[in-house]
Structure 1
Amino acid sequence: MTKTYDAVVIGAGPNGLVAANHLIDQGWSVVVLEAQAEVGGAVKSSRDVHPDFVHDTFSAFYPLSEASPTIRSFELENHGLTWRHAPAVLGHPRPDGSWAILHRDRTVTADLFEQAHSGDGEAWLELCGQWDRIGDQVVKALLSPFPPVRNGLGALAKLRSVGGLDFVKTMLTPASELGRSRFGGESPRLIIAGNAGHADIP
């Protein structure tokens, strides 16, 4: 007997699993096909380096996943998911062996930037202040179906508080240029460019 499904999802990575779960929640019958021996796509960990050390093998940083209304709607915490936050969120190595480090505490990050280059700490806190005023609307717009009308209007309402058209220009400026124009040191430039690259929004 041949079984039929309402939907076939190709790939059991994060996107495929979210799509499949969303369809199932809507009452669809779904089959997920995966070529690999394990589900998860790029979200994997291993003990390849040492039996006592668990490390990420592909990707390890999911800020938009935790913020996603779709992922939150699955209430994965009720099924064993625990979000973990390292004090130092991410870092970028430099050729001399030092690191540009982004901490969850913005003042720690600012202090590190200031130690490396005078003025960069204050510039970082100014950038964080702008984000505090409008960032929630920007993230919601990124996670909304296109066109993001409601959150776009929300961002528009807050635009004056972050500098109006100058902020629009900032958002349209390539990350590498933004880093060079606002910071004298290398660390904040690396953090901004690296995050933009990870988000696929250079």
Structure 2
Amino acid sequence: MDSTADAVVVGSGPNGLAAAVLLARAGLAVDLHEAAPEPGGGARSARLFDADVVHDVCSAVHPMAVASPFFRGFDLAAHGVELCQPEVAYGHPVDRRRTGLAYADLERTCARLGPDADRWRHLMGPLVEHTRELTDLLLGDLRRPPTPGLAAVLAPRVLALGTGADELLFRGPEAPALLAGVAAHPMGRLPSLVAGGTAVLLGHLAHAGGWPVPRGGTQVLTDALVADFRAHGGRVHVHSRVTDLRQFAKTRAVLLDVGPRGFLDLARPLLPPRYRRALENVRYGPAAAKVDFLVSEPIPWREPELANTATVHIGGTAAQVRVAENTVAAGRRADEPYVLLAQPMAADPSRGLAHKQPIWAYAHVPNGDPLDATEIVRARIERFAPGFGDTVLASRGVPAPELEAYNANYVGGDISGAALTLRQLLARPVVRWNPHTTPLGGVYLCSGATPPGPGVHGMAGLHAAKAALRREFGIRALPTGW
């Protein structure tokens, strides 16, 4: 499979596509290879049960699409992508009577929190004021230190949220539950500094850009990137499984949207022993067990305001979220696992019909767990929405091993690409000044297993492509937008 292209990208998830777009816009001849029948990786949609209803296959809600410097430069709106903002960024039912609601409007959120209003305002307000600087830093390649002013805002908040000290700040259970629900996104031990950083980033974005869903489904993000790549001369090859990097021995730059294990599969005999051992020692974290539902009506939440959000965290109190996440991180199933749920029609009515609506959910489970979580997730929703089961027209469970079969980067169902520990965040995937480079000349890594980590933001692709342009082609002036 010798390529006549200047550059080759292997893997067409959001990061691979971001890299391909940047390289093609820089004037290079670029080939993109995808083993699956269509591009997209974790950013695909499908009509699973009914031709009138669009379900997201992996990612569903996209705060990073608003915040990401890559997508800012790409300009989604100019490519026909509409991001639909719900009135409530995310919700978190605590018990039968109390629910935390993070409105897009910070002051409205504070008003709902009553005696904790000032504390939430003090926590989130400065982050919202510094949102551009903050997101540029946290979505960077981890080599640029924060400015003193940003450090003064960021450090105490990450430390508080990352050590559990934030719970001492609040009087009621809603605010700590809201923060714990966001901190659980990385799937790992709580509290932790990584979880604290996640709560800072995603938590403040609720009030600074929102947690939107793309009109028509996540697939529209992929379609826009693919169309732009092709418009700049890029060539997409689907059903094209790459098995050996030596297939591209004559290509000047090869960018890999693959995880550590995938890189080993492609290049093991070529890698220096020390680097190879470092990749072999990468740890994988807890997994997601996916459940899709087709329902006959919106979820009958006890709290009516939950109908106005596309994202609901089901985990109970902050303490209950912590117990569930730590149980799974220890390799055991939680009796009441944390569930991340999306109801996209709360913001995008085009996804289905009034009597046929998609519901998307992940339960956190141990890595490689073969559990079909359908009934567990159904029961978790029923706790806060009695009668939900009566609305279910169809369902399907996708156990963690099947997620890996769908996307080889999800080892054991770990959708983060590797465990998000502090060590593996700072050395992702190995200790290296520029983590997107490799010991192999012209070969770069650009998956979510490299900084800044998982998410539909395209930033790993942007960082890797910038390095390749500079090092392999002497191109330092980036295309317009970046």
Cross-structure match for 2:478? none
Q: Secondary structure at the match of 1:198?
A: coil
Matches within 5 A, 1:111-130: 111-114=111-114, 119-130=115-126
**Aligned mates of 2:52, 2:165 — CA distance in 1:** 41
- 1:185 equivalent in structure 2: 172
2:94/2:177 contact within 8 Å kept: no
Who is 1:54 aligned against? 54
Give the residue type in structure 2 aligned to 1:124.
W
Q: Report if the CA contact (8 A) 1:176-1:192 is conserved.
A: no
Whichever residue aligns with residue 12 of structure 1, its letter is: S
Q: Which residue of 2 aligns with 1:91?
A: 91
Cα 1:14/1:48, change in 2 over 3 Å: same
Q: CA deviation at 1:136?
A: 3.1
Q: Which residue of structure 2 lines up, in the alignment, with residue 100 of structure 1?
A: 100
- Structure 1: how far apart are the matches of 2:179 and 2:151? 21
Identity across matched positions, percent: 31
Q: Give the helix-richer structure, 1 or 2.
A: 1
Is 1:137 the counterpart of 2:133? The answer is yes
**Which segments of 5 or more consecutive residues in structure 1 lack a partner in the other structure?**
none
SS at match of 1:48: coil
Task: State TM-score, norm by structure 1.
Answer: 0.75
Residue in 1 aligned with 2:201? none
Question: After the TM superposition, which of the residue ranges 9-18 and 169-178 deviates more from structure 2?
Answer: 169-178
- The alpha-carbon deviation at position 104 of structure 1 amounts to 0.3
Post-superposition offset of 1:39: 2.1
Cα pair distance change 1:21/1:188, threshold 3 Å: same
Q: Contact between 2:8 and 2:32, CA under 8 Å: does it hold in 1?
A: yes
- Give the conservation status (yes or no) of the 8 Å contact 2:11–2:33: yes
1:122-154 Cα deviation digits (max 9, x unpaired): 2112222222343432212113344225xx22x
CA distance in 2, matches of 1:130, 1:50: 45
In the TM superposition, residue 23 of structure 1 has moved relative to its aligned partner by: 1.2
Q: How does 1:1-202 map to 2 (within 5 A)?
A: 3-48=3-48, 51-94=51-94, 96=96, 99-114=99-114, 119-149=115-145, 152-153=146-147, 156-157=148-149, 168-175=155-162, 177-198=164-185, 201-202=194-195
- How far is 1:175 from its partner? 3.9
In the aligned structure 2, how far is the partner of 1:7 from the partner of 1:55? 33
Is contact 2:87-2:103 (8 Å) kept?
yes
Contact 1:66 1:72 in 2 (8 A): yes
Between 1 and 2, higher relative CO (CA 8 Å, sep ≥ 6) is seen in: 2
Deviation at 1:158, TM superposition (A): 5.4
Residue segments in structure 2 that go unaligned for 5+ positions in a row: 188-193, 196-482
TM-superposed CA distance for 1:20, in Å, is 0.9
Query: Considering only aligned residues, what root-mean-square deviation do their CA atoms show, in Å?
Result: 2.9
What is the distance in 2 between the residues matched to 1:62 and 1:146?
22
Seen in structure 2, the aligned counterparts of structure 1 residues 122 and 140 have a Cα distance that, compared at 3 Å, is same
Secondary structure, in 3 states, of the residue corresponding to 1:194? Answer: helix
TM-score by length of 2: 0.35
